[in-house]
Structure 1
Amino acid sequence: MAIKKRVVTVFGATGLQGNSVTCSLLRDQVSNFQVRAITRNPESEKCQVLHKLGVEVVKGNGWNKDDMQRAFSGSWGAFVNTNSDDPIFSQPDGPTEFDLGKIVVDGIIAGGVKNLVLSSMRPAGEATGGRMKIKTMDMKASIAEYAQETGQFETIAFIHTGWYFELFLSEKMAKLHQGFPYFPDAEGYLSLHLPKWGNDSGAPFIAIVDDFGDLVHGILLDPKRWNGKTIQAVSDIQSLPQFVQTFSESTGKKARYVPLPSWQSLGESIPEMEDGRLLFAYGEATNGRYFVEDSCTDVPLELKKLAAAAQGKDASTVSLASLSSWFAKKLGTSQA
């Protein structure tokens, strides 16, 4: 008798987070997962690639609860990440990320899904005595609170990402950073211009492609164990001066960290950078405690090893991605 497949439906499967989750689950050799991806455009190139890999691609608009109910129906579990950078959220008097998240969660519940992993954040006011509000953090926290308060899930876990390694592959971000890691300044340095993070405390970085999906995979292997918990998605922890030194040592390129005078100086002429500026104000207010508590890689490494074992790998040899190896591979001299 064939073992029934456990369908895991991914909302945001063509984004960095969702794609990483999808690829990790596809490598599972023991859990009988079937991955389903929700998309507004099943004919897109990214969706066609997923389909060829064995993913069930279904059409669905996150703003339509009936679409969400149909798309999630029959699923054992779900992973959801809403795109905070969607231009629709910057429209005056427009819908919010919470509005979208609520519709998706309602659709998941109507579809009968009992296990949910939600990409989330803690509210900015939690660690600042209610003094701060940051839209992205607060919206994602509100979605998480709503999902938990429905009481409709057997298990629900929240995963909170650190700073993406992959951000440093973007030339747009390099211009915001005033050069690093692509454009040398007049003195020949790749200079990273950012405000200080806390008291030069370690900032949490996550390799989304290499690690994030495995962490979610690890949660889904035993969702009852992680029920109600918030998991830090962290691959490496370094202060900004250490970060730039690691880059130089790994790539052989001249680089330096140039602290901006204050968090207000980051992209000060760019309205879309408001949350980015406030994030560094948050770091200042919390002494660099991005997750409220100290950053730690112990749980992410455990989850990575659990996923590796399910993928048929020797878990004892598995480690989280390091900035040094990632820089050498992605931005080393051979990649120039």
Structure 2
Amino acid sequence: MDANETKTVVVIGGNLGSSVARSLHDNHEFRVRVISRDPSSAKSKKLIDSGIEVVQADYRETEQLLKAFKGCWGIFINIDSDAPNFKQRIGPSELQMGKGMVDAAIKAGIQHAVHASLPAASELTKGEVPVLAFDDKSAISKYLLEPGKFETAAIVSAAWFLENAFDPKYTAAFGGFAMIKDAEGYLTWETPAMGNSPESVPWLAVADDYGDFVHGVFLDPQRWNDRHIHGVSDSSSFAEMTTKFEEVTKLRDHALTGKPARYKEVKKGGLSAADEFKTKEVNGLFDLMHAIKGNFFNGVPTEHNDARLLKKAAAEARQSDISLKPMTVEQFFQKYAM
């Protein structure tokens, strides 16, 4: 492909995919094509309204994927692990679906691939702490990275979503922060500890940063080939995170105190989510974190520099005037706290 020719990147996948699509769309070097099972959905319509191409395809149907992938230079893959069929083991697993996407991308002639992954729970714990979504995503990554499949391939693993503070699936499981006050009037983040000391949790501002990390990889795919990149915006303890939220709301509201927030540690296995599958997953997450000493990214300490380099590269390539640095926890709450 000519260096000056517009490169089409096909994007699959949820909130991470939306962030990737919006970042790449802000750079005339790329054309973005988003795959959706329902192009009439509200999320798809938002992308279409912003000028992004959205095409329909069933992720399970190879011929539909091949048609959607035609003429694409790169692919970003992220499968929604919360789909009920995966949890209930109905139909193809996430791993089977992911492999099918990889195979279709190769057959369509796509050269460069990026996958959003998670820690290999069973492998890291010798089978003691299996987490279905984590194990399937990590297995897809291994498959995608096998030699000879793509000219380049990279993994950009997503850290802990800061947006979970405003997602009912997680606020219900984690004590109510930052939406539901407890009986004492606090917005409480209530989970087990992360498992490292001093505690350090890698946080990700999905909408503001993740897409730029992937954008940065596509700007220089050879440099990032075969790399496992930590998609992290900022790090702090759970207690520091809730304190920063309270301080931000205090300044924003010009009040003597902000919205009262706190962290309460609970024992492992003590979380309860909206359904049995999510309950098993969130408790399994903390069992895994303790088993790997709180090192979220496949058992190794969080590395911030790659994300900073990628953010800067993407910010410089985008038309919009955005920050050259990943978002801090304070900046996230300044922008999104209600």
Same-fold status (TM-score > 0.5): yes
1:149 maps onto 2:163 in alignment: no
Pairing of 1:187-198 with structure 2 (within 5 A) = 187-198=184-195
Aligned partner of 1:209 in structure 2 is 207
1:19 maps onto 2:13 in alignment: no
Q: Which moved more, 1:163-172 or 1:77-86?
A: 163-172
Q: Which moved more, 1:42-51 or 1:152-161?
A: 42-51
List gaps (5 residues or longer) in structure 2: 250-257
1:46, CA displacement in angstroms?
2.9
Whole-angstrom distance in 1 between the partners of 2:50 and 2:245: 34
Question: How high is the TM-score relative to the length of structure 2?
Answer: 0.90
Whole-angstrom distance in 2 between the partners of 1:93 and 1:56: 30
Pairing of 1:298-309 with structure 2 (within 5 A) = 298-309=305-316
What is the DSSP-based 3-state SS (H/G/I as helix, E as strand, rest coil) of the residue aligned with 2:172?
helix
What is the DSSP-based 3-state SS (H/G/I as helix, E as strand, rest coil) of the residue aligned with 2:213?
helix
Aligned partner of 1:56 in structure 2 is 53
Aligned partner of 2:162 in structure 1 is 165
1:253 maps onto 2:252 in alignment: no
1:271 maps onto 2:276 in alignment: yes
Q: CA RMSD in A?
A: 2.1
Cα-to-partner distance string for 1:250-301 (whole Å, 9 max, x where unaligned): 11111111111x2211117941221211110111111111112111321111
Counterpart of 2:284, as a letter, is: L
Aligned partner of 2:223 in structure 1 is 225
1:170, CA displacement in angstroms?
1.9
What is the DSSP-based 3-state SS (H/G/I as helix, E as strand, rest coil) of the residue aligned with 1:263?
coil
1:321 maps onto 2:319 in alignment: no
1:138 maps onto 2:135 in alignment: yes
1:107, CA displacement in angstroms?
1.1
Aligned partner of 1:66 in structure 2 is 63
Whole-angstrom distance in 1 between the partners of 2:37 and 2:274: 34
Whole-angstrom distance in 1 between the partners of 2:214 and 2:65: 21
Task: Return closer, same or farther for 1:175/1:91 CA change in 2, 3 Å cut-off.
Answer: closer
For the 8 Å contact 2:59–2:65, the answer to whether it is kept is: yes
Task: Return closer, same or farther for 1:263/1:107 CA change in 2, 3 Å cut-off.
Answer: same
For the 8 Å contact 2:232–2:307, the answer to whether it is kept is: yes
Question: How high is the TM-score relative to the length of structure 1?
Answer: 0.91
1:150, CA displacement in angstroms?
6.3
Cα-to-partner distance string for 1:67-109 (whole Å, 9 max, x where unaligned): 1111111101011101101111122454211011111111111
Whole-angstrom distance in 1 between the partners of 2:315 and 2:335: 21
Task: Return closer, same or farther for 1:91/1:188 CA change in 2, 3 Å cut-off.
Answer: closer
Structure 1 residue runs of 4+, over 6 Å off? none
Aligned partner of 1:288 in structure 2 is 294
Name which of 235, 238, 242 aligns with 1:237: 235
For the 8 Å contact 2:115–2:154, the answer to whether it is kept is: yes
Q: Which moved more, 1:118-127 or 1:186-195?
A: 118-127
Counterpart of 1:115, as a letter, is: H
Task: Return closer, same or farther for 1:223/1:5 CA change in 2, 3 Å cut-off.
Answer: same
Cα-to-partner distance string for 1:292-312 (whole Å, 9 max, x where unaligned): 211132111110000011115
Counterpart of 1:84, as a letter, is: S
1:149, CA displacement in angstroms?
2.5
Cα-to-partner distance string for 1:87-134 (whole Å, 9 max, x where unaligned): 111224542110111111111111110100111123113433443321
Cα-to-partner distance string for 1:6-30 (whole Å, 9 max, x where unaligned): 1111112xx211110011011114x
For the 8 Å contact 2:172–2:274, the answer to whether it is kept is: no
For the 8 Å contact 2:39–2:54, the answer to whether it is kept is: yes
Task: Return closer, same or farther for 1:48/1:103 CA change in 2, 3 Å cut-off.
Answer: same
Whole-angstrom distance in 2 between the partners of 1:69 and 1:268: 38
Cα-to-partner distance string for 1:184-241 (whole Å, 9 max, x where unaligned): 2232222211111103520111000000000000000000111110111101111111
Count of paired positions: 326
Task: Return closer, same or farther for 1:314/1:37 CA change in 2, 3 Å cut-off.
Answer: closer
Identity of aligned residues (%): 36
Whole-angstrom distance in 2 between the partners of 1:127 and 1:93: 26
